[in-house]
With several copies, the nearest count.
Chain A
Amino acid sequence: MDITFSAEELAFRDQVREFLAQNWTPDLARRIRGEDEEFKAAQIEWQNKLNDKGWLAPGWPVEHGGVAWSVTENFIFETERSLAGAPDVVPFGLKMVAPVIYGFGNEEQKQRFLPRILKSEDWWCQGYSEPGAGSDLAALKTKAELDGDDYIVNGAKVWTTYAQYADWIFCLVRTDASGKRQDGISFLLIDMKSPGITVNKISSIDDHHSLNEVVFDNVRVPVANRIGEQDKGWTYAKALLAHERTSIAGVADSKRRLRDLRKLLSEEISGGRPLIEDVQFQNRLSNTEIELMALEYTELRVLASTADGKGPGVESSLLKIKGTEIQQAIQQMYMDLAGYYSGVLHGDETAESIGHAFGHDARKAYMYGRAATIYGGSNEVQKNITAKYVLGL
């Protein structure tokens, strides 16, 4: 057992800190918290800075522009990034479709899509869930029928995050309905500018526009945009899911959120004493903090096992379940800290003119956070998976 950092790793950490100090500026931090186009532009700017440094794509093959960090280096980077308050990359291109493209795509697809993902020239979104099929992914009904060199796609995808910004969507579509539900599914890359695509905004409980429905009405998609073989899409998609669960855990971000929360709690006065001195709040903090201390090592165990070539394996469900539970517990504490101000919807008023600066943000994070136990395969489905494949029940 060894988790001490070597001299090289300590040097790398300094390098990361320096990069963050120079590039993650307060101005950028402000803009990335904005809405719509301001957010989009700032997010792209941030990703471009990472790309200029060569740090945008850990895990990608080096020949495609990836960075071959060790598990420890990756851990160091994520920890530092998060403690600095810098956001993760938008995962749909870099972490979700890219591995499918470099793993299962042909040479032409790699050349065509990967460089544009690295340069953030294409914004991707994910077309998995459907109105009738949530966590039961294989129940999908969006149909793609071959017509010459094109597929004709009809159907709808739902809960599509940031589809309103997207240039491309990667979709699971049904190309054969005759066999087992997992068979007959193909993996298509679809240009969002294609005629017949409509994006409908879904108003969500956090009053923030992130979710959408994407409707396909006789959308023509060249066969050249299919990844791998027809009807084998489920195999390609499945490889992604374990990774998705791991990254949903959000351990490093939760650490930062807890750190910031402790600071706010020591500033908030209740009955003449800082709220952090309240034993009940301390207990809630430490309940969560201790789970997170453990989960950080669960993640390291998974990463170490991956590095040993054993693959992330089925523990990824555990990471997803516990990670999202921790996130929600933290969100709840921010709400309770904000008290009455947790309910405030800002219209024309600023936080300062009303009360606490963080009540509004606390509420948004809380409401948006409800999704975390639902998406990426609901936590209930993760438990089913664990029961079946880990415990053999």
Chain B
Amino acid sequence: MNFNLSEEQNMLKDSVARFVQDEYDFETRRSNAANPLGFNPDNWQTFAELGWLSIPFEEAYGGFGGGPTDVMAVMEEMGKGLVVEPFVATVLMFGGLLSKSDNPALKDANIEKIIDGSLQGAFAYVERQSRFELADVKTQAKRDGDDFVLNGEKTVVFNGAAANKVIVSARTSGEQCDEAGITLFLIDADAPGVERTQYRLMDGQLVANIKLNDVRVAASQVVGKVDEGYTLIDSVVSDVTIALCAEALGIMQKLNTTTIEYTKTRQQFGVAISSFQALQHRMVDMFMAGEQAKSILYRAVCAAEGEADDLAKNIAALKVMIGRNGKLIGDEAIQLHGGMGLTDELDVGHYVKRLMMINTTFGDADYQQQKFNRLAYAE
């Protein structure tokens, strides 16, 4: 039993850490996020050169063949830097769906371009009414000869503004909330009938709503199998959840360190506020919340590496704890920074906002807890 990274994984982690250290101070991050693309395209090329964009892909397609542990190592460091480049959206979500699909033609045509940095992707799965239900899909895809014709609207598409290609979930059969009958389509972002509205989220992401008006897609562009898209979505969402939680862990560690340092310098009533026992105990609670989050992340990664039976339960537990402990740490980080915690110039609020978006993505702690309950107690 060990929780050590391999030498290769350590090198990967260090290379991300070094990049964040050298190229991603808070002011640079601000200007990267302010780029009209939502990120800095030069950084994206750097990621390609450093091989990061190849991490989760099979070696047969030019990938690094990395697993959950590799992704965790990278994401934790990206979290510390609040990296806005769409590694998750393009590589893990868009790339993950292609990679896990059983479709060599689509893989051939796209994975190489993801890896060399020339293709930006997105996965459009949220709808106005769907909340966190991945199976709540109203967007319709009707067969018409060798094509499908798509109509509907997707909202809050991560990297939706910059994406060249988008994978869209649409209903080919079944009722609005059925898991069966969902199909994934790979479309060009500028295909006729695609209408994008872009906007920003509080964590700096540039996202888009995508309206589909009679968008025509060839049947060859189906990712996975017709009517069976949900299984693919579920599997990729599971992987991406681990990645986002690793990012959140990096953020929590950063917030804990920052808060401890701040309280050591901030003077009130003639002494550093770090000397107040009530605050010390709260910082211990923050520390414990971070350590427990780390442990449950390791647990989920081990389950994913071993393809454990209870993976779904571990993932739900992970997401619950990351949401709750992230909130505790975020709240306390702001509170212990006092007025300074409220200013936009300080990085604290920005870390907290990203934690909040991660909590929401794929369902917040309450939602995931109910999922856990169903898995654990409804035998």
A and B touching (C-beta < 8 Å)? Answer: yes
Contacts of B279 in A (CB 8 A): 380
Query: Are A346 and B287 within 8 A (Cβ)?
Result: no
* A-contact bits for B348-367, CB 8 A (1 contact / 0 none): 01001100110011001011
| Least CB distance, A386 to chain B, in whole angstroms | 5
Query: Are A383 and B376 within 8 A (Cβ)?
Result: no
Chain B at the A interface: mostly helix, strand, loop or mixed? helix
| Least CB distance, A116 to chain B, in whole angstroms | 30
* B-contact bits for A338-371, CB 8 A (1 contact / 0 none): 0111111111010001110000000100010011
Query: Are B299 and A354 within 8 A (Cβ)?
Result: no
Query: Are B335 and A353 within 8 A (Cβ)?
Result: no
What CA separation (Å) do A347 and B199 show in the bound complex? 7
A269 CB–B CB distance under 8 Å:
yes
Contacts of B298 in A (CB 8 A): 1, 297, 301
Query: Are A296 and B364 within 8 A (Cβ)?
Result: no
B177 CB–A CB distance under 8 Å:
yes
Query: Are B293 and A2 within 8 A (Cβ)?
Result: no
A104 CB–B CB distance under 8 Å:
no
Contacts of A71 in B (CB 8 A): 1
B203 CB–A CB distance under 8 Å:
yes
What CA separation (Å) do A346 and B202 show in the bound complex? 10
Determine which of A2, A136, A158, A286 lies in contact with B369 in the assembled complex, contact meaning CB atoms within 8 Å.
A286
B131 CB–A CB distance under 8 Å:
yes
The residue among B1, B274, B317, B378 with the most chain A CB atoms within 10 A of its own CB is B1
A36 CB–B CB distance under 8 Å:
no
A211 CB–B CB distance under 8 Å:
yes
Query: Are B353 and A297 within 8 A (Cβ)?
Result: no
Contacts of B143 in A (CB 8 A): none
Chain A at the B interface: mostly helix, strand, loop or mixed? helix
Contacts of A283 in B (CB 8 A): 369, 373
Contacts of B305 in A (CB 8 A): 1-2
* B-contact bits for A53-81, CB 8 A (1 contact / 0 none): 00000000000000000111001000000
Contacts of B288 in A (CB 8 A): 318, 321-322, 386
What CA separation (Å) do A384 and B202 show in the bound complex? 35
Query: Are A392 and B260 within 8 A (Cβ)?
Result: yes
What CA separation (Å) do A308 and B4 show in the bound complex? 10
Contacts of A132 in B (CB 8 A): 267
| Least CB distance, A126 to chain B, in whole angstroms | 14
Query: Are A1 and B301 within 8 A (Cβ)?
Result: yes
What CA separation (Å) do A270 and B129 show in the bound complex? 8
Contacts of B276 in A (CB 8 A): 380
What CA separation (Å) do A278 and B264 show in the bound complex? 43
B258 CB–A CB distance under 8 Å:
no
Query: Are B131 and A343 within 8 A (Cβ)?
Result: no
Within 8 A of A (CB), among B365-379: 366-367, 369-370, 372-373, 376-379
The residue on A at minimum CB distance from B155 is A355
Contacts of A136 in B (CB 8 A): 268-269
Query: Are A383 and B278 within 8 A (Cβ)?
Result: yes
* Contacts known (A282-B377, A340-B156, A393-B263); A134 close to B268, Cβ less than 8 A: yes
A260 CB–B CB distance under 8 Å:
no
What CA separation (Å) do A375 and B342 show in the bound complex? 11
The residue on A at minimum CB distance from B344 is A203
* Contacts known (A355-B155, A380-B278, A393-B260); A298 close to B283, Cβ less than 8 A: no
Determine which of B69, B295, B377 lies in contact with A1 in the assembled complex, contact meaning CB atoms within 8 Å.
B69
* Contacts known (A203-B345, A298-B291); A290 close to B338, Cβ less than 8 A: no
* Contacts known (A136-B268, A393-B263); A387 close to B295, Cβ less than 8 A: no
B34 CB–A CB distance under 8 Å:
no
Query: Are A345 and B274 within 8 A (Cβ)?
Result: no
A84 CB–B CB distance under 8 Å:
no
What CA separation (Å) do A315 and B279 show in the bound complex? 19
The residue on B at minimum CB distance from A343 is B201
* B-contact bits for A271-285, CB 8 A (1 contact / 0 none): 110001111111111
| Least CB distance, A380 to chain B, in whole angstroms | 7
Query: Are B199 and A344 within 8 A (Cβ)?
Result: yes
Contacts of A336 in B (CB 8 A): 364, 366
What CA separation (Å) do A202 and B339 show in the bound complex? 11
The residue among A280, A287, A393 with the most chain B CB atoms within 10 A of its own CB is A393
| Least CB distance, A122 to chain B, in whole angstroms | 26
Contacts of B299 in A (CB 8 A): 293-294, 296-297
| Least CB distance, A351 to chain B, in whole angstroms | 10
A207 CB–B CB distance under 8 Å:
yes
Within 8 A of A (CB), among B254-312: 260, 263-264, 267-270, 274-281, 283-284, 287-288, 291-296, 298-299, 301-302, 305-306
Contacts of A262 in B (CB 8 A): 377
| Least CB distance, B243 to chain A, in whole angstroms | 15
Contacts of B294 in A (CB 8 A): 301
The 5 A-B pairs of least Cβ separation, nearest first, read A297-B295, A205-B349, A203-B344, A343-B201, A387-B280
Question: Which residues of chain A have a CB within 8 Å of any CB of chain B?
Answer: 1-4, 70-72, 75, 129, 132-136, 139, 158-159, 202-205, 207, 211, 262, 266, 268-272, 276-287, 289-291, 293-298, 300-301, 303-304, 307-308, 315, 318, 321-322, 332, 335-336, 339-347, 349, 353-355, 363, 367, 370-371, 373-375, 378-380, 383-384, 386-387, 390-393
Further 6 A-B residue pairs, CB within 8 A, beyond A1-B4, A271-B131:
A289-B317, A297-B296, A343-B360, A345-B200, A346-B199, A370-B342
A-B contact pairs, 6 of them (CB 8 A): A2-B302, A205-B353, A344-B156, A345-B201, A380-B281, A391-B260
